[in-house]
Copies of this chain bind each other. A is one copy, B any other.
């Protein structure tokens, strides 16, 4: 058994059973070992940004890491942006980056680069294998690092000789410790704070606190104390829809955040950080918490957020169950003009229970987000790191993690072009994804931001840099070129028909929404 095979066996033993891959020569022993090891599903992607985005989507939905297989520094570089998004989501990922054999590095061959320096910029844990016999143990430690709370990016650099040299066998599974519980004194202090002062309070939740169990506990606390439940604009994962306890999403723009938070005197953080503006603007504050509002951490990102909410519910003497939950409101299927409102209504009407809703719709996403708050219960994944070109790859990973759930990906056209290669993997793997592309032929958010940053109205050259409409991108041809069935909607009725058809069907579909 060589080092590569020992690594694969170790991964499987440690619960890692999906590998998103774009391999090259230095990864051939890992690739060859796939046929000798049971239990690893390799998924080929045509670009490494798809690989890492897919691993992000998989990690968020599976609650455990997939591994990636990347080709030296440039492969990791191509994956950087979606590793950034994953890092900001606390998604667990184990990167395997092939590198030149150690004896080859001295020659500075063309593909040589500073792999470790690059890995450090996007990983919480980095290790370079030094010996085929220790690769297995290295792999087990990488999985353990990725499976922390929150999940982390663990990058294992695998020089080719450590993959092909003889190894001793796989490493056994390492126990994954759960997140530490929050101290009772902290729980009690927050309980007193929420029960005591009659102050206007909000609880800002992230991480496990936004999954079903955490939300149940948060709902108990909210009803017992009157505190509002909030979440960030961009959440890693939120379980929402009919029957779920609702949280209010903090808006995107700084001045909106300030208005939204106005009057709050207590802000309790559960796995979250205080709200700040996404970008800086001249003469505007980045810090959006009202002056005088006290900030208290109930649970840090590395702590047991759902457990802390449960303990808090007990400490405030909450009822056993929350009573307020989102109702099921399926809008009528709209007619007439196509807009994010009519698209949002149609999606909310037709979204199947258990769907995974992936949102990189940017300026087109507000209405769909609003209407789906009372759709059938579903999981919602947000663009936590702000780097566009995330949604399509994440759909790949979510669909691999959840083969029995419908994945619906809402995507702006500008962002979709970053990693459009994702569609091919959706087709190859017959993934059950509906891709809804909002084709406004513009980096529309930038038309807003151009004004907001005080750069003026923009002359013709400036505006041309925000305009992706000439030539028109034909997403149907792009999808068909990669084997994904596609259709174009120019009316609300057409969109409803096409989306409904896609919901009833199976396998990847793309609908271009012409706005």
Residues in A lying within 8 Å of B, measured CB to CB: 21, 23-26, 28-29, 31-32, 34-36, 42, 44, 46-47, 49, 73-75, 77-78, 80-81, 84-85, 88, 100-101, 103-104, 107-111, 113-114, 117-118, 120-122, 160-161, 164, 234, 273, 276-280, 282, 286-287, 384-387, 389, 414, 417-418, 420-421, 424, 427-428, 445-446, 449-450, 453-456, 458-462, 464-466, 468, 470-478, 480-483
Q: Are A28 and B450 CB-contacts (below 8 A) given A280-B101, A387-B74?
A: yes
Bound-state Cα–Cα, A261 to B483, Å: 46
Copies in the complex: 2
Q: Are A459 and B34 CB-contacts (below 8 A) given A74-B84, A164-B453?
A: yes
Instruction: Quote the shortest CB–CB distance from A50 to chain B (angstroms).
Output: 10
Question: A36 — nearest CB in chain B belongs to which residue?
Answer: B459
Bound-state Cα–Cα, A114 to B464, Å: 30
Q: Are A25 and B445 CB-contacts (below 8 A) given A31-B450, A78-B418?
A: yes
Chain B residues near A465: list those with CB within 8 A. 21, 23, 31, 34, 42, 44
Q: Are A385 and B280 CB-contacts (below 8 A) given A42-B461, A121-B121?
A: no
Q: Are A279 and B461 CB-contacts (below 8 A) given A46-B418, A477-B481?
A: no
Given contacts A35-B461, A104-B286, A114-B121, 16 further A-B contacts (CB under 8 A): A23-B465, A28-B449, A28-B450, A28-B455, A32-B458, A46-B468, A73-B80, A77-B121, A77-B122, A100-B280, A107-B277, A107-B286, A108-B276, A109-B286, A117-B121, A475-B481
Contact of A23 among B75, B389, B446, B482 (CB under 8 A): B446
Instruction: Quote the shortest CB–CB distance from A93 to chain B (angstroms).
Output: 15
Question: A23 — nearest CB in chain B belongs to which residue?
Answer: B465
Contact of A473 among B88, B161, B164, B481 (CB under 8 A): B481
Contact of A453 among B25, B74, B277, B384 (CB under 8 A): B25
Q: Are A454 and B164 in contact (CB under 8 A)?
A: yes
Contact of A32 among B100, B109, B450 (CB under 8 A): B450
Chain B residues near A81: list those with CB within 8 A. 74-75, 77-78
Contact of A462 among B32, B46, B164 (CB under 8 A): B32
Chain B residues near A44: list those with CB within 8 A. 464-465, 468
Instruction: Quote the shortest CB–CB distance from A507 to chain B (angstroms).
Output: 11
Chain B residues near A421: list those with CB within 8 A. 417-418, 420
Bound-state Cα–Cα, A73 to B462, Å: 22
Chain B residues near A113: list those with CB within 8 A. 84, 121-122
Q: Are B78 and A161 in contact (CB under 8 A)?
A: no
Please give me the 4 A-B residue pairs with the lowest Cβ-Cβ distance, nearest first: A35-B459, A471-B483, A77-B80, A477-B481
Question: A35 — nearest CB in chain B belongs to which residue?
Answer: B459
Instruction: Quote the shortest CB–CB distance from A100 to chain B (angstroms).
Output: 6
Bound-state Cα–Cα, A22 to B482, Å: 25
Chain B residues near A164: list those with CB within 8 A. 282, 453-455
Bound-state Cα–Cα, A49 to B49, Å: 11
Chain B residues near A74: list those with CB within 8 A. 80-81, 84-85, 385-387
Most buried by B among A110, A120, A468: A110
Chain B residues near A473: list those with CB within 8 A. 424, 481-483
A-B contact pairs, 16 of them (CB 8 A): A28-B449, A42-B461, A73-B80, A73-B121, A74-B80, A88-B110, A103-B280, A107-B286, A111-B278, A117-B117, A117-B120, A164-B282, A420-B420, A424-B473, A477-B478, A478-B481
Q: Are B42 and A471 in contact (CB under 8 A)?
A: no
Q: Are A273 and B108 in contact (CB under 8 A)?
A: yes
Question: A387 — nearest CB in chain B belongs to which residue?
Answer: B74
Most buried by B among A23, A31, A117: A31
Q: Are B471 and A104 in contact (CB under 8 A)?
A: no
Most buried by B among A160, A286, A472: A286
Contact of A470 among B109, B279, B428, B468 (CB under 8 A): B428
Chain B residues near A480: list those with CB within 8 A. 474, 477
Question: A78 — nearest CB in chain B belongs to which residue?
Answer: B81
Chain B residues near A470: list those with CB within 8 A. 428
Bound-state Cα–Cα, A227 to B464, Å: 54
Instruction: Quote the shortest CB–CB distance from A284 to chain B (angstroms).
Output: 10
Contact of A161 among B280, B428, B477 (CB under 8 A): B280
Instruction: Quote the shortest CB–CB distance from A393 to chain B (angstroms).
Output: 13
Question: A119 — nearest CB in chain B belongs to which residue?
Answer: B121
Contact of A118 among B118, B453, B468 (CB under 8 A): B118
Bound-state Cα–Cα, A31 to B464, Å: 10
Bound-state Cα–Cα, A428 to B473, Å: 11
Contact of A279 among B85, B160, B449 (CB under 8 A): B160
Instruction: Quote the shortest CB–CB distance from A81 to chain B (angstroms).
Output: 4
Chain B residues near A464: list those with CB within 8 A. 42, 44
Bound-state Cα–Cα, A482 to B31, Å: 34
Question: A104 — nearest CB in chain B belongs to which residue?
Answer: B280
